Structure 1
Amino acid sequence: MSAAKSDAILARMMALHPKIIDLTLDRVWRLLAALDHPETALPPVIHIAGTNGKGSTLAMIRAGLEATGARVHAYTSPHLVRFHERIRLAGELIAEPALARLLDECEAANGGTSITYFEITTCAALLGFARTPAEWLLLEVGLGGRLDATNVVEKPALTVITPVSLDHQQYLGNTLAEIAGEKAGILKPGVPCIVGPQPEEALAAIEARAARLGAPLLVHGQHWHIWEEAGRLIYQDEHGLRDLPLPRLPGKHQIDNAGMALAALRALGQPEAALEAAPGADWPARMQRLRRGPLPDSAPEAEIWLDGGHNPAAGQALAETLAQMPRRPTYLICGMLNTKDVTGYLRPLAAQAKQLHAVAIPGEAATLSAEATRDAALAAGHDDPRVSGSVDAALDMITQEAPQARVLICGSLYLAGQVLRDNG
């Protein structure tokens, strides 16, 4: 089978429901029943929700578990280049023939009934996970938690809630408490939950739901602590202190992500896996240095970085990362979707960027125009932002002025995915 077969099936699935996002579990339960309930035949599940850090935390947990020799399934979204990135079966990206078979089976079982793209593809992933032997399944929530298509596992081994911030308010609520309440919808009676650093309002909502359900919490700053000291990662909980290598993934926020991963591994009874969790993990488009491809080749003296963060908390984390890097003139090439808080994302970056070049995201219906992104950058305090017709054109303009610049392409996972197709 060629890659075109799964692409064709996925294209048909996009047409099964008029809305890309429509949060309910009714359609998922209907299809899972038609598939003979694969969600009841999964290996032990670690279910991960949150606004920021889900993917990086999952990658660190996976690195730790795989270092023990365990076979680990993983489900993440969205993908950057190919859909296959979303599904790992026993440690390997799903192969095209296996993906096409699963999608075919789910399409047939669904029978043309209304169902969203994420819902039917999640059912396909669960079917694959149920049929492939493994010791663990890492399941990342797509959006929210309570009504997300992944929230069909009756009793996971562990849940994780990464930092909650304002994002997707049109679906999850307008306050941190409302959004955190939706994320906390993955909590299950008697199942421990690792809770990452949270605003007070979000933590209160998580604690309230946990109390109602009887779900034990292991909370950052209460039950476990993580910090950097003398170039090392220091983790401490009631079982003692661990002195470990720093994460491979750059940025202060990755310290907290590593802490959640370490707390999860210890809660799962895998303390030695902690030795490999942070240094062994890699996650594309999270402050990723581009070293090969047309963009780096066209600007050999420049540092070119890529990041897919897209909300105000991600902008703050990115600004802190840039502030810690060796001093170098930093330019941003930014493209964003019109559903995001663009000014909130760009405001913390203003102090770190010499100049911003705004671009539209090619082929994305929901892209913000380059002109609108430029205007948002002005409102966020950026000095003299420019408009460019493409990432290539922006990079050329920047490196003509500053050949040794640090260039960060940022603002959207969709933009990051397009860049990685040619510069991975």
Structure 2
Amino acid sequence: MGLHPKGFDLSLDRIGRLMDRLDNPHLHLPPVIHIAGTNGKGSTSAFCRALLEEAGLACHVHTSPHLVRWHERFRLGGRGGSRLVDDDTLADALDRVADANRGEHITVFELLTATMFVLFAEHPADVAVIEVGLGGRFDATNIIQRPATSLIMPIALDHTAWLGDKVELVAAEKAGIIKPGCPVVIGAQMQDAARDVLVETAERLECPTSVYGQDFVAFPDQGRFVYQDGDVLFDLAMPRLLGRHQLANAAAAIAAVRSAGFDIGHGAADRAMQSVQWPARMQRLSRGALVDLAPANSEIWLDGGHNPAAGQAIAEELAARNEIDDRPVFMIAGMIDTKDQTNFFRQFAGLVKRVFTVPVPQTEASVPNDELAVKANEAGLPAEPIHSVANALRLLADNQETDDLSPRILICGSLYLAGAVLKENGTVPE
């Protein structure tokens, strides 16, 4: 991080040059499921991994960003299940990539992407699930030439400085991962304009295409999760990942894995719904140093969602929980300055009793907590700037009356904040 630019510099030239010097490891991968989209990429990657591993397959997984440790970006598949890369293996691969780069201009993400290709090429596996970093067309992962499936998850406005300020422009950038003749799965899209761009691109490139709501569907039924496409009907356990949006994510993963040519039976799919794990996406924190600071019997949720579409999904899940168990809802939020803070907060109007705004640790892009409180106020939420998550939890505990209902507390607004919370709480991803 000290040697290379932290920002975005979307191009395939530098990564292509580096791949040549490393003997093109990206050409020696197992079949790849390549995932782009604004929301749901990480959760869907986790569903893909669970499906493939429950079917007995060795699965590499690349995701970004990491929450606590860089190792989280590189999960190496094996017959006994996948594992995060170990220190020595990661350090060796990074050294070789850095040597091959010869000190030339390159971004941190490009170096890490090259490292991913080296690791995945050198360790045998049946399949690799690779998540796009930003956009698609010029993302460093997009030197993949013939993906087994290109999967595009819901598209919304985010990173507008790089991807455009209209959903059609963002969709066109994400559609850049679609390759001629290669299968495409299009997940649930909130806007017809985005779906139309994706479908038109896939048709122009003559790709076999499966579209959510048309070629495959998912819905809850009497406490179960039903997935259906043109060939199978699965009656499955509800996904372990919470939120109605996770049904669509799980369905997209099933469609993508099947589209990539992997025969996932009913039993494997059912087990996958119960074993899937993905931290900081409606993750219940039930123990840890921060949890101990909260009011007794609090229900504490952590979510790294940071744009209005993610906010809507989180708010819907909280509202559904309040219908079952009505508690006062408090939010502890930190956000960075590239996000639409006011419209994120607006999703929670009428649901959240009070917002405590906090700085996001270890990033210069953090919105000052007093400025973030103003954004929450603009969205109709009472807000108060607080120095830290720990202080906000202490304040809630100090003001808790004996006969008060135990609160439902949401910590949200940034993956950077989520990572800091998991680290301070002592519950880092494994």
TM-score (norm 1): 0.95
1:195 is aligned, of 176, 186, 201, to: 186
User: 1:219 and 2:211 equivalent?
Assistant: yes
User: Conserved in 2, the CA contact under 8 Å of 1:261 and 1:277?
Assistant: no
User: 1:417 and 2:419 equivalent?
Assistant: yes
Corresponding residue for residue 165 of structure 1: 156
User: Conserved in 2, the CA contact under 8 Å of 1:77 and 1:142?
Assistant: yes
Corresponding residue for residue 410 of structure 2: 408
* C-alpha displacement of 1:191: 1.1
RMSD: 1.1
**Secondary structure class of the residue paired with 1:349:** coil
Q: Report the AA paired with residue 280 of structure 2.
A: A
Question: Could you list the per-position Cα deviations for residues 110-135 of structure 1 after superposition, in whole angstroms to 9, with x for gaps in the alignment?
Answer: 01000000001100110010000000
Corresponding residue for residue 389 of structure 1: 387
Corresponding residue for residue 297 of structure 1: 292
Corresponding residue for residue 134 of structure 1: 125
Which structure 2 residues correspond to residues 235-250 of structure 1 after superposition, within 5 A?
Answer: 235-250=227-242
**Secondary structure class of the residue paired with 1:251:** coil
CA distance in 2, matches of 1:211, 1:390: 50
* C-alpha displacement of 1:279: 2.1
Corresponding residue for residue 255 of structure 1: 247
Corresponding residue for residue 355 of structure 2: 356
CA distance in 1, matches of 2:369, 2:24: 46
Corresponding residue for residue 4 of structure 1: none
* C-alpha displacement of 1:387: 1.1
User: 1:115 and 2:106 equivalent?
Assistant: yes
Q: Report the AA paired with residue 380 of structure 2.
A: G
Corresponding residue for residue 326 of structure 2: 327
CA distance in 2, matches of 1:119, 1:58: 20
User: 1:287 and 2:286 equivalent?
Assistant: no
Question: Could you list the per-position Cα deviations for residues 282-312 of structure 1 after superposition, in whole angstroms to 9, with x for gaps in the alignment?
Answer: 1000011112211111224211111100000
Corresponding residue for residue 308 of structure 1: 304
User: Conserved in 2, the CA contact under 8 Å of 1:66 and 1:72?
Assistant: yes
User: 1:229 and 2:221 equivalent?
Assistant: yes
* C-alpha displacement of 1:263: 1.2
User: Conserved in 2, the CA contact under 8 Å of 1:60 and 1:280?
Assistant: no
User: Conserved in 2, the CA contact under 8 Å of 1:226 and 1:233?
Assistant: yes
Where structure 2 has 5 or more consecutive residues not aligned to the other structure, the ranges are none
Question: Could you list the per-position Cα deviations for residues 378-417 of structure 1 after superposition, in whole angstroms to 9, with x for gaps in the alignment?
Answer: 11111x2111111111111122233721111100000000
CA distance in 1, matches of 2:251, 2:299: 29
Corresponding residue for residue 93 of structure 1: 84
CA distance in 1, matches of 2:400, 2:107: 46
Q: Report the AA paired with residue 400 of structure 2.
A: A
1:16 is aligned, of 4, 13, 16, to: 4
User: 1:375 and 2:374 equivalent?
Assistant: yes
CA distance in 2, matches of 1:289, 1:309: 15
Q: Report the AA paired with residue 71 of structure 1.
A: A
Corresponding residue for residue 3 of structure 1: none
CA distance in 2, matches of 1:277, 1:174: 37
1:102 is aligned, of 93, 112, 129, to: 93
Q: Report the AA paired with residue 224 of structure 2.
A: R
**Secondary structure class of the residue paired with 1:270:** coil
CA distance in 2, matches of 1:59, 1:363: 26
CA distance in 1, matches of 2:119, 2:69: 17
User: Conserved in 2, the CA contact under 8 Å of 1:16 and 1:113?
Assistant: no
Between the aligned residues of both structures, percent identity stands at 47
Corresponding residue for residue 7 of structure 1: none
Where structure 1 has 5 or more consecutive residues not aligned to the other structure, the ranges are 1-10
* C-alpha displacement of 1:209: 1.2
* C-alpha displacement of 1:254: 0.6
Corresponding residue for residue 270 of structure 1: 263
* C-alpha displacement of 1:271: 2.7
* C-alpha displacement of 1:242: 1.4
* C-alpha displacement of 1:243: 0.7
CA distance in 2, matches of 1:16, 1:368: 24
Corresponding residue for residue 399 of structure 1: 397
**Structure 1: 4+ residue segments shifted above 3 A:** none
User: Conserved in 1, the CA contact under 8 Å of 2:54 and 2:269?
Assistant: no
2:34 is aligned, of 47, 50, 54, to: 47
Q: Report the AA paired with residue 196 of structure 1.
A: G
Corresponding residue for residue 340 of structure 2: 341
User: Conserved in 2, the CA contact under 8 Å of 1:72 and 1:135?
Assistant: yes
* C-alpha displacement of 1:323: 0.7
User: Conserved in 2, the CA contact under 8 Å of 1:65 and 1:270?
Assistant: no
